């Protein structure tokens, strides 16, 4: 997408730290099985702001802090914490949203089975222009399958991909 090394490094820092604000969320909410109550959901959603407040205090992470704050914003404006839409959402957060969704869909979790990569890609395509920035989706879908296969092998082996 034409980003320089510094921008990509900043995106990576934000990705590594995106959920740091969860340290301020009560453990009973984080570990709860099943649906959260509306009150618990409101507390949980504050992890974005908490993460921003933590990371924004570190000068070289200020740009990453904006991504951390915005990583649950949705293209159609229905996300949180600020209800931003389209270009109001920092570009790094729009890219991260696609990558995080793919990782979530293709990884075995307590709450769901891992989907095959092609099924996850189809789901991401369906959510384009609603949940995700269509430019970020198009860039994501243009990545050859062998790149994803190699990355998954590195992750599964415990290596630190691309570092």
The pLDDT-based confidence of 160 (bands split at 50, 70, 90) is: low
Residue 150 has pLDDT above 90, yes or no: no
Higher-pLDDT residue of 93, 33: 93
Mean pLDDT value across residues 65-78: 97
Full 3-state SS string of 83-127: CCCHHHCCHHHHHHHHHHHHHHHHCCCCCCCCCCHHHHHHHHHHH
Q: Where are the domains of the chain?
A: 1-70, 72-163
The pLDDT-based confidence of 159 (bands split at 50, 70, 90) is: low
The pLDDT-based confidence of 162 (bands split at 50, 70, 90) is: low
Residue 9 has pLDDT above 70, yes or no: yes
Q: What percent of the chain has pLDDT over 90?
A: 74
| pTM for the full predicted model | 0.85
Mean pLDDT value across residues 73-96: 96
Contact between 69 and 52 (Cβ < 8 Å): yes
Residue 151 has pLDDT above 80, yes or no: no
pLDDT tens digits, residue range 121-146? 999 999 999 999 999 999 999 998 88
Q: How many CB atoms lie within 10 A of CB 24?
A: 14
Contact between 15 and 99 (Cβ < 8 Å): yes
Mean pLDDT value across residues 143-151: 83
pLDDT given for residue 83 in this prediction: 97
40-63 burial string, b = 16+ CB within 10 Å, else e?
beeebebbbbbbbbbbbeeeebeb
For domain 72-163, give the fold.
Hypothetical protein af1432 (1.10.3210)
Name which of 80, 55, 57, 58 is nearest 68 in CA terms: 55
For the chain, give the mean pLDDT: 91
Mean pLDDT value across residues 26-51: 95
Residue 92 has pLDDT above 80, yes or no: yes
């Amino acid at each position: 997408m034409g980003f320089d090394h510094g921008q990509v490094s900043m995106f990576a820092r934000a990705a590594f730290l995106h959920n740091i604000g969860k340290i301020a969320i009560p453990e009973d909410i984080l570990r709860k099985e099943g649906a959260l109550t509306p009150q618990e959901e409101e507390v949980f959603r504050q992890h974005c702001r908490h993460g921003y407040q933590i990371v924004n205090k570190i000068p070289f992470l200020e740009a990453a802090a904006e991504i951390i704050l915005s990583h649950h914003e949705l293209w159609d404006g229905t996300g949180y914490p600020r209800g931003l839409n389209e270009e109001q959402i920092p570009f790094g957060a729009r890219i991260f949203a696609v990558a995080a969704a793919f990782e979530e869909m293709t990884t075995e979790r307590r709450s769901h089975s891992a989907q095959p990569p092609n099924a996850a890609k189809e789901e991401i395509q369906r959510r384009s222009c609603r949940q995700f920035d269509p430019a970020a989706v198009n860039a994501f879908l243009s990545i050859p399958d062998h790149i994803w296969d190699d990355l998954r092998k590195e992750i599964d082996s415990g290596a630190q991909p691309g570092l």
